[in-house]
Structures are given as C-alpha cells and as structure tokens.
C-alpha cells in the first residue's frame, strides 16, 4: 500500500485508464496547461499530449455536447467540470442526450462518458457555488452517480466509471483533494453500486456519503465514549443505490440516521427513508431521522454557513433521539 492524496488518486485512475485505452480523453476548463483547477490532472498533458488532454473555453454546454457526440464515434471521454454548480449550464446535454442515447437509439449507441468534478459546499463560496446536485442526477434514469469519500474508493470507482458503457456522474469535493489515504500499489477496481460498512456497530445505523461522512465518523467516536455503538455505512454510489446493505444493517440495529449535505426536500435520504419503511418497517424501533442542510441557499457569512451545514453534533443529537436518550 502507498499513501496518496485524493487528487493523486483521481489523476492515477485517469492516467492508468488512458494508457490502457487510446479512445479515452480528458477535456475541461484548465485541465491541461494548468494541470487542473485542483491539480487533479497534473502531468497528464505532458504524457498524453494536447489531443487527449484538452483545455476548453468556459462553455459547459458546448464541450459537454462535443463529448457526448464523440461517444457515438467510439470515444470514451472524461469531462471535468470545475464545479458541478457549472454543470447546470450543460445539464441539457447530460439529461437529454447522454442519459437517453442508449434507449432512443434502440441500443445502437452506448454512451461511455464520465462527468466529474467537485460537488457541495467548500467554505465561503456563496450560494451559487455551494450546491449539491447528487439527487438531481440520481433522479434521472440512465445515469449512474458516484460520490466517494476517500482516495481508495475514489481511484477504484473512477476506474470502474471510465470502463462503464453508460454515463457516470462522478462527484468529488474541493475540500477533499488534499486528503490522504492508502491505496494499493497495483491495479484495482471497485464495483459500482456497492456500499461499504466503514464501522461496524449494534445500536444505530448511520448512512452517509461524500465529504460530510467525516461528521458521522466524529459523531460515532463521541458516542462510543458514551457506550453507544454506531454502524457507519458509506454509500459510495448513490445510483444504483445499495439498499440491501442498509436494510441488513437496520434489521440488526433497528434504528436509522441519514446524514446528507443537500437541501431537505426530496433528496437521497428521502428515498432511503421511503425504501427502508417499505421494506423493513417492522424492524424499526424509532422513526428514521435525516439530517440535511437548511432549506435555504447557502449563506456567505461564516456564522450562518456553520449553522446551515450539518455537523457531528447534529448527528449525536439525532442518534440520541432515535435511542430515546
């Protein structure tokens, strides 16, 4: 095993796959000359050249459309958005073309494409640069949505995403690119659609994904000191959703808390809540609690932002509530 940063895990995954398959290319704003806005494509222009590592204008709709069209001629593009907030400019190409080509062509065209970049808040970036759209994309049939929380998962899942013959939304975080973690020296691939129990426990199940899961770990540590055993599940993939791992855990703990950095109305945790009550209602000893951001645009004020974002204290309170403590 070796220790690398999250950004290096992303770079290694893309580079290894591009060496393996010449039909893969990377395009996006500042991915080439600048080595990526967050240095996630460092050295790739030197290795692969300007035909396969392509700097684009600030025109997400345009280069997303070019990339989707190129899949129909045998290419396998990786499209980097500087942030998924900017994907809204190109979302028509993602929803109406990438997600639908396979069905609308009667299976004649597959669409092997990865749209990747950071999601969610990253400090004082204001309302238009602090949004989480995992549930928006997960709502659309034809798209897979992956949100890793550490370098090991990021590398293994990105390689799987690049090899997948359908469009994949791969979401990272500006605040995770510097995170370090162990990854194997050799090649490995993680299956899409499989959650992982990061910590085993017996009293309550906590489900989360992406960078906010760190707050779940902190809460689990604090609760352990009080004798509460938390099982923490990292979804890793939002769509397809690994509901069975959650159900198996809930049948053991009989309590569920879901932590998600997203607006509260109709999000991923809402879907999990519905499926658990449908399939494991009799195993629940308390109502499910979901913890989300405030139901407002993200504030710029650091005081308000701290109040807006869920944190470990919120998780501790929720766990104690489902335990009737």
How distant, in Å, are the alpha carbons of 106, 108, 109, 311 from that of 101? 8, 9, 6, 40
Respond yes or no: is residue 129 known to be catalytic: yes
Residues 6+ apart with CB under 8 A from 220: 199, 201, 206, 230, 232
| Residue in the structure block whose two tokens are 């979401």 | 171
Catalytic: 231?
no
How far apart CA 243 and CA 82 sit, in angstroms, is 31
- Annotated catalytic residue, options 8, 29, 80, 129: 129
Which of these is catalytic: 29, 60, 80, 231? Answer: 60
Per-residue pLDDT 10s for the chain (325 aa) are 999 999 999 999 999 999 999 999 999 999 999 999 999 999 999 999 999 999 999 999 999 999 999 999 999 999 999 999 999 999 999 999 999 999 999 999 999 999 999 999 999 999 999 999 999 999 999 999 999 999 999 999 999 999 999 999 999 999 999 999 999 999 999 999 999 999 999 999 999 999 999 999 999 999 999 999 999 999 999 999 999 999 999 999 999 999 999 999 999 999 999 999 999 999 999 999 999 999 999 999 999 999 999 999 999 999 999 999 8
Please tell me the distance from the alpha carbon of residue 63 to that of residue 67, in angstroms, as a whole number. Answer: 6
Domains along the sequence of the chain with CATH: 2-183 (3.40.50.970), 196-322 (3.40.50.920)
Q: How far apart are CA 306 and CA 274, in angstroms?
A: 29
């Amino acid at each position: 095993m070796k220790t690398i940063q999250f950004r290096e895990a992303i770079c290694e995954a893309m580079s290894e796959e591009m060496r393996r398959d010449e039909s893969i290319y990377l395009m996006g704003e500042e991915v080439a000359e600048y080595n990526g806005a967050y240095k996630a494509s460092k050295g790739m222009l030197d290795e692969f050249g300007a035909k396969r590592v392509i700097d684009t204008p600030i025109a997400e709709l345009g280069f997303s459309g070019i990339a989707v069209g190129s899949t129909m001629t045998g290419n396998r593009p990786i499209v980097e958005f500087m942030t998924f907030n900017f994907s809204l400019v190109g979302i028509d190409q993602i929803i109406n073309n990438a997600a639908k080509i396979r069905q609308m062509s009667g299976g004649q065209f597959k669409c092997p494409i990865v749209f990747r970049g950071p999601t969610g808040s990253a400090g004082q970036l204001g309302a238009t640069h602090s949004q989480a759209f995992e549930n928006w994309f997960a709502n659309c049939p034809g798209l897979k949505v992956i949100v890793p929380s550490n370098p090991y998962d990021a590398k293994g899942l990105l390689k799987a995403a690049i090899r997948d013959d359908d469009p994949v939304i791969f979401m990272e975080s500006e605040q995770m690119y510097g995170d370090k973690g162990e990854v194997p020296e050799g090649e490995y691939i993680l299956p899409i659609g499989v959650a992982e129990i990061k910590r085993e426990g017996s009293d309550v199940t906590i489900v989360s994904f992406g960078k906010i899961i760190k707050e779940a770990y902190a809460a689990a540590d604090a609760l352990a000191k009080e004798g509460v055993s938390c099982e923490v599940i990292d979804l890793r993939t939002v769509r397809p959703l690994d509901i069975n791992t959650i159900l198996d855990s809930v049948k053991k703990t009989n309590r569920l808390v879901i932590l998600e950095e997203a607006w509260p109305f109709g999000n991923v945790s809402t879907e999990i809540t519905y499926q658990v009550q449908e399939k494991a209602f009799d195993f629940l000893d308390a109502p499910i609690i979901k913890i989300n951001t405030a139901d407002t645009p993200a504030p710029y004020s650091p005081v308000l932002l701290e109040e807006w974002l869920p944190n470990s204290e919120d998780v501790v309170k929720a766990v104690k509530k489902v335990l009737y403590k």
